[in-house]
Amino acid sequence: MTSLAIVPAAGRSDRFGSPKLTTDLHGEPLLSRTIRSLLEGHVARVVVVASQTGAFERVLLLRDPRVRMVVNPDADRGMFSSIQTGLAASDGDPILILPGDMPFVQSATVAAVLEAYQRAPGFIVPQRHSRPGHPIALPGSIRSAVLAASPTTSLSELIKAQRLARAEIEVDDGGIFRDVDTPADLMG
């Protein structure tokens, strides 16, 4: 199994007011923490999808040989277009999706999602107190359907159309639904 994580990181961060993903969070850029949780959770390859070249020069983990950055030429189309761009650049099984602005996900959660996938390949969703979060895992077999999907499709619509068996795993990690939209989201 060669796992792959797609990290959509091409959003404009309008509500944040400054470059969100390079904002310092406990001594490192926010995006570094997101990537680190994936690598420490044993994901083999990480593809970060940015809106432009050089967007994350401060993110030293982009130099790790397991990490690759690609540019979404049409980032205004939204997160699904970034997932398509990331999958066009690489493949793997399973495919994890973790938005770049979710630096509080624990590496143990990433590892648990991978372990659940190994036991029963399919659509894996971590949850806490029955509330779903990220990263999700999808089978590598969905790659061609994602790449062929209409630009107006969403990932959830595609998952429903593919009729993937969904399995939830309970984790003790509030980071699975803690994204950063405003500077206040960095507190706590």
**Residue ranges per domain, the chain?**
4-186
Q: pTM higher than 0.85 for the full model?
A: yes
Q: DSSP 3-state helix, strand, coil percentages of the chain (rounded to 5)?
A: 35, 20, 40
Q: Residues 6 or more apart from 155 whose CB is under 8 A from it?
A: 79, 80, 83, 97, 146
Closest CA to 103 of 44, 187, 169, 4: 187
Mean of per-residue pLDDT scores for the chain: 92
Q: How many residues comprise the chain?
A: 188
Which pLDDT score, from 0 to 100, does residue 165 have? 86
CATH architecture entry for 4-186: Alpha-Beta Complex (3.90)
Average pLDDT for residues 129-135, to the nearest whole number?
Answer: 96
Mean pLDDT for 122-151 is 95
Of the candidates 112, 137, 92, 89, the one whose C-alpha atom is nearest the C-alpha of residue 1 is 92
pLDDT in tens, 73-94: 998 888 999 999 999 999 999 9
Structure-token match 């991978």, residue found = 114
- pLDDT tens sequence across 32-74: 999 999 999 999 999 999 988 877 888 999 999 999 999 999 9
Closest residue by Cα to residue 41 from 89, 107, 95: 107
- Give which of 29, 34, 80 is closest to 59, Cα–Cα: 29
Residue 80 three-state SS = helix
